[in-house]
């Protein structure tokens, strides 16, 4: 009986711990960009391009350009994180930001909890 309990407990812990480690709250500084342009917007002046790419090209005569997802390109390592809730960064396209959020490494995504523009 005791061995069965220990075995079940270890199995449950073995399943729960990896799932818990899959995401964590972090603070990232980086640039708000779109998935297609990514790190090419790691300087001021790219806001219009980011907005156009996120909208897609139909509005500017290029229907073949598909709408892109919003991303944050981290200053450190230029790692690109897909923003799950783009509305949290609306108005900050092309800007340098500090973001606090839940990072999901496996999905390469970030759920933004708060964001501030950096000077």
CATH number for the domain harbouring residue 99: 2.40.50
List beta partners, residue 111: 102
Q: Which residue has the higher pLDDT, 9 or 94?
A: 94
Q: What is the rounded average pLDDT of the residues 3-24?
A: 54
**CA dist., res. 118 & res. 59, Å (int):** 30
Domain range for 86 is 23-117
* Cα–chain center distance at 98: 12
Confidence band (pLDDT; 50, 70, 90) for 6?
Answer: very low
Q: Is residue 70 part of a domain?
A: yes
CA distance 20 to 24: 8
Any domain includes 85: yes
Residue 39's closest CA among 82, 73, 84?
Answer: 73
Q: Whole-model pTM?
A: 0.77
pLDDT, tens digit, for every residue of 25-78? 999 999 999 999 999 988 888 899 899 889 887 677 777 878 999 999 999 999
Residue 103 is predicted with a pLDDT of 96
Number of domains in the chain: 1
| Residue 58 falls inside a structural domain | yes
**What percent of the chain has pLDDT above 70?**
81
């Amino acid at each position: 009986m005791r061995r069965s309990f220990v075995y079940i407990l270890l199995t449950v812990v073995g399943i729960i711990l990896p799932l818990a480690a899959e995401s964590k709250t972090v603070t990232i500084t980086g640039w708000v960009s779109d998935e297609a342009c990514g790190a090419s917007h790691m300087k001021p002046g790219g806001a219009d391009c980011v907005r156009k790419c996120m909208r897609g090209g139909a509005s500017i005569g290029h229907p073949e350009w598909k709408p892109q997802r919003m991303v944050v390109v981290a200053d450190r390592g230029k790692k690109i994180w897909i923003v799950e809730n783009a509305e949290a960064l609306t108005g900050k396209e092309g800007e340098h930001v500090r973001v606090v959020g839940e990072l999901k490494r496996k999905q390469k995504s970030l759920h933004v909890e708060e964001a501030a523009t950096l000077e």
